[in-house]
Amino acid sequence: MDAATLSRAMGGSLSMAKYQSYAADFTSAALQAKCTTVNRMAMWCAQIGHESVGLRYMEEIASGAAYEGRRDLGNIHPGDGRRFKGRGPIQLTGRHNYGQFGKWAKSVGLVSDANYFVNNPTQVATSKWGFLAAAWYWTVARPLLNSYADAGDVVRATRAINGGTNGLADRTRRWNACRGLGTALLSRPAVVRPAAPKPRPPGGIEQMAFNDGFKDWAGNQQTVQSWMNNMDRRIALLYSAFLSPGTQPSRIPGDKNKTNLRDAIMDSTSWTNQTMRRVIALQAALANGASATDPQEIAAALRPIVAEVVGPIVEESVTAALGEDNAAQAEAIVSEISVRLSNGTDDENALTSAE
């Protein structure tokens, strides 16, 4: 039931905030106890309301010393009286009952250890486990309570819980008041869902990857994704030039001739130089502006590594494509590429790198 109905059912002796904190656990335990009709929920509220004084007490006021040595409660060890004092709205009491509650809770999948409440008895004073302890008592220790509720028999329900008719007048008053609430007793508390987290503004490498993170040599805004797309296009062009030279338009501005192997390789060389610029930009983004490491030094260190890795591949590819009869031309092309890879030339006008 919702907090407002719970407050009315319990007599409104606590703050609304307190009833709001109890509503979900109270309702969940009532369902566990199979209190799914107005009569059953009214009896549940009336008996729990009386025993806990409107949910004011979830733990026995007394110390529990009076239960010391009570073997009928299973208190066979020194200190058991205080350790297993009455807790929860119906006052679960004694080592034996704490153990039985644990076994039931494990059997219905609420805990993984049947001795959980023997080892952690104070948990029964919390709203979650206190109300569930009442559900165990309602359905296992006193399994006829729902049938008494169905019959509207407050006297027999009181005897089952109290052993006599102590507080019968108050229990009856609460029963009648709760019955008057009707189907409101069966309402479910509103589920409060946490607010969705606010999107976190990208920063660092995320800024590079998903926003306009840097400018290319021509002054165009670039992202890592757009740069990767250009890389795919250039690789495809280079591959096409190797297999079918003269089939694609030249990428050199103003050149109306079909592209050849040299055009494609120069374009890829331009891309390699832009890679160096992106390495610098990525390093700067990851460092978040830290100036302890010079990005230019990192780029300078990377260029010979790139040249060492890419150089042999380019040399082999160019030589194979041009053939042994054009060895001099192949050597010139490879030499120019190697110089550009090693030095990181900024002469973009000589490169076919239009984005």
Residue 92 β-bridge partners: 87
Residue 329 is predicted with a pLDDT of 72
**Distance of CA 219 to CAs 215, 229, 260, Å?**
5, 18, 27
Helix (H) or strand (E) holding 215: strand 214-215
Residue 349 is predicted with a pLDDT of 41
Is pLDDT larger for residue 332 or for residue 131? Answer: 131
* Tokens at 178, concatenated: 């709760």
Nearest to 297 by CA among 323, 276, 269: 276
CA dist 197 and 219 (Å) reads 36
Helix (H, G, I), strand (E, B) or coil at 222: strand
Angle at 285 between CA 284 and CA 288, to 5 degrees: 90
Site of tokens 């590429």 = 337
Is residue 104 over pLDDT 60? yes
The radius of gyration of the chain from alpha carbons, rounded to an integer in Å, stands at 40
Is residue 265 over pLDDT 60? no
- The answer regarding whether domain 3-186 maps to CATH 1.20.58.340 reads no
Could you report the per-residue pLDDT of 54-82, keeping only the tens digit for each?
Answer: 999 999 999 999 999 999 999 999 999 99
Cα 86–chain centre separation? 38
Percent of all residues in the chain with a pLDDT value above 90, rounded to a whole number: 51
The alpha carbon torsion through 238, 239, 244, 250 (nearest 10 deg) reads -20
HEC profile for 326-349? Answer: HHHHHHHHHHHHHHHHHHCCCCHH
Any residues with CB less than 8 A from the CB of 169 and at least 6 apart, and which?
none
**Distance of CA 29 to CAs 6, 47, 88, 227, 302, Å?**
13, 14, 12, 59, 66
Residue 332 is predicted with a pLDDT of 72
pLDDT band at 188 (very low <50, low <70, confident <90, very high): confident
* Tokens at 96, concatenated: 């034996």
CA dist 104 and 118 (Å) reads 13
Region of residue 199 (phi > 0: left; psi between -120 and 50: alpha; otherwise: beta):
beta
CA dist 246 and 259 (Å) reads 5
Any residues with CB less than 8 A from the CB of 35 and at least 6 apart, and which?
41, 43, 44, 138, 146, 149
DSSP for 62-100? S-SGGGTT-GGGT--STTHHHHT--BTTTTB-SHHHHHH
Is pLDDT larger for residue 250 or for residue 16? Answer: 16
Q: What is the CB neighbour count within 10 angstroms for residue 216?
A: 18
Question: Between 168-179 and 3-10, two packed helices, what is the crossing angle to 10 degrees?
Answer: 150
Residue 59 β-bridge partners: 87
CA dist 48 and 170 (Å) reads 11
Could you report the per-residue pLDDT of 114-126, keeping only the tens digit for each?
Answer: 999 999 999 999 9
Mean pLDDT of the region 165-188: 93
SS3 content of the chain, % helix, strand, coil (to 5): 65, 5, 35
Residue 206 is predicted with a pLDDT of 46
Query: Domains of the chain: which residue ranges?
Result: 3-186, 205-350
Residue 249 β-bridge partners: 258
